[in-house]
Structure formats: C-alpha cells, structure tokens
Amino acid sequence: MAIVSNTVGYTDEDVLLEGFFAYDDAIEGKRPVVLINHAWGGRDDFVGGKAIKLAELGYLAFAVDMYGKGVKGESKEQCAALMQPFMDDRAKLQQRLNAGLQAVKLMPWADENKIAAIGFCFGGLCVLDLARSGADIAGVVSFHGLLFPAENISEPVVKAKVLVLHGRDDPMVPPDLVLSFQEELTQAGADWQFMSYGNTMHAFTNPVANDPDFGTVYQADADRRSWLAMQTFLSEIFG
C-alpha cells in the first residue's frame, strides 16, 4: 500500500480553488469518493490528515476548498470574516460546494456512483447544504456541524442519507435548533441519524481545540466514536 496525495486546481466562476486529494495506489480501478469540507479557517492540515486516513480505508478522499487557493484564517476574526459571506448567501455556498463535487468527478479514480461528503464545524453545515440542495450523492456526515437552515431552500428534497455527529453541550447549536433541524429533515423525507455525545462541546474532533469559554474543546472519546460511526455509515451507503 502506498498513499498518493497531491493538490489540484479547480474553479468556481473566476475564483481559483485548490483541493487536496489522496488515494491508495494499490487499489485498481475506480473507488468510492469522500469529499471533506473544512472548518471556518479554510483547507488546512486537519482535513489533509483526514484525507490520508480515508485513503487508507480505500476511498478517494478530496478535501475541498471553499475560500480560494492559499486563503486561510489565522485568528477567530479572520476565520469569521471568511465564513460569513457564505452564511449570508447560501446559494453562493451551494454553488461553491457543487464546484468541488464536479471537480472530483473528473478524477480518473472516482466512482461517480459512490460519492459521500463529510464536514467539520462550518464544513458540517456545508455537507448538510449539499444534501439540502438535492445533490445526487449517497450520503453526508456532519461532525459538530452548524445546523442553521438554508433560507434559499424553503422545502428541501434530500436524496442523500444523513448522519449528524453532535456534542450535547455545543453552545453554537442549542437544543431548540437541534429539534427544528430534525423536523426539517423529517419533512424533507430524509433518511437521517443523529448521534449526540454527552459532556461534549463544539470542535470535539480537533486535538488543538481548548477554549471552553468559546465553546471549543477536544473530546477524545467522542472523536474516536464519531470516526467509527462514520466508517459504519460509509460502509452501509456504499454497499
């Protein structure tokens, strides 16, 4: 087994984006695809590491870029400024997501009939919006994602199966939002699962998260359990 990884450029209209992909070259032919959506700071080593781990599991992993080649936030203020335009214009966000989806379909190792997307924090909202937009993919997994509805899609029709992995004590996603989100998926006719981890805050999969006042704290058990839950889900949806 040898994991091959590299970056690849793609565009959304006039914006140059740079994705990171990884795959195991010991596997012959096409393989299932897992898109990875980054948190509010931009495409970084965290999602790059997830891509390598997914490649080791036999997938073509593709970490998408929402902000533009080389664009990353270095502070909370910078990260918020990068994310906010997409929160304010969900149609723009969904178009950017679709650019990544179309880019990975062009890769020679991609099985176009077996595509899933996972995302972390802001990236969790991204994959949920991909599902809300009616994308014809197998499934999406949100890790401590934001659950705000997409105002530009009043009656989403969700084709993808949905797995949400949530910290019970996440201050960025209060209980009433959880309930309204679950009702939204039910009304959309979605096949959905929601796992809530006790004594767990936002960003629980990120080992460097250690800011209780902000609500972001790493939780090793939830990190491990959520990754295993994702693996089970991917095995199921890809058959």
- pLDDT tens for 116-153 read 999 999 999 999 999 999 999 999 999 999 999 999 99
pLDDT interval class at 13 (50, 70, 90): very high
Predicted local confidence at residue 219, as pLDDT: 98
The structural domains of the chain, ordered by start, are 3-238 (3.40.50.1820)
The model's pLDDT over 144-163, given as tens digits with 9 standing for 90+, comes to 999 999 999 999 999 999 99
Q: What pLDDT is attached to residue 4?
A: 97
Nearest to 141 by CA among 229, 239, 42: 229
CB-side neighbour CA atoms (13 Å) of 58:
11
Q: Kindly tell me if the per-residue pLDDT of 1 is higher than 80.
A: no
Question: How confident is the model over 37-63, as a mean pLDDT?
Answer: 98
pLDDT for 100: 98
Instruction: Give Cα separations from 3 to 51, 53, 59, 84, 165 (angstroms).
Output: 10, 10, 11, 35, 27
How deeply is 98 buried, as exposed, middle or buried, from its count of CB atoms within 10 A (0-12, 13-18, 19+)?
middle
Q: What region, left, alpha or beta, does residue 203 occupy, with left being phi > 0 and alpha being psi -120 to 50 degrees?
A: left
**Residue 29 bridge partners (DSSP):** none
Those residues whose C-beta lies under 8 Å from the C-beta of residue 145, and which sit 6 or more positions away, are 119, 120, 121, 122, 123, 124, 125, 127, 128, 164, 166, 173
In the numeric block, the tokens 């949530």 are attached to 166
Q: How far is CA 168 from the centre of its chain?
A: 19
pLDDT tier, 189 (very low <50, low <70, confident <90, very high otherwise)? very high
SS3 27: coil
